[in-house]
Amino acid sequence: MRNLVSICEDAGARRVQAYIQSGNVIFEAEAAEIPRMRTDIMQSISRRFGWETPVTTRTAQELSGIVRANPFLRGGAGAGTSHRLPGKPTR
């Protein structure tokens, strides 16, 4: 994940943080720079790792909307237990 953080920083991202080993990162950037940064990040991943992979970006507002729309929360699950509904057995 350190390599991915470095790639994002090299593309111009600020305050880059990796989220566990998921391949997800959170960073700050100017909205106008995101299309270029997305391309730079994809190209850097390809050069460094040999993987052709899409890069998807979301704004803080979009992420907040995703969290609010979580169907598990609407079903009564707490934010820390969104992997299953309360009272439902896991398999």
Neighbour tally for 16: CB within 10 Å: 17
Would residue 87 count as lying in a domain?
Answer: no
As for how many domains the chain has, the answer is 1
CA–CA separation, 42 vs 60, rounded Å?
21
What's the CATH number where 22 sits?
Answer: 3.30.70
Residue 27 maps to a domain: yes
Give the model's pLDDT for residue 66.
Answer: 85
Q: How far apart are the C-alpha atoms of 78 and 63, rounded to whole Å?
A: 18
- Strands of 1-91 (E only): list them: 14-19, 24-28
pTM for the full predicted model: 0.72
pLDDT by residue (tens digit) across 43-72?
999 999 999 999 999 998 998 888 888 888
Q: Which domain covers residue 51, as residue numbers?
A: 2-73
Asked if 24 and 18 touch (Cβ cutoff 8 Å), the reply is: yes
Tell me whether residue 46 is in a domain.
yes
Closest CA to 7 of 33, 31, 32, 39: 39
Query: Residues 11-19: what's their mean pLDDT?
Result: 94
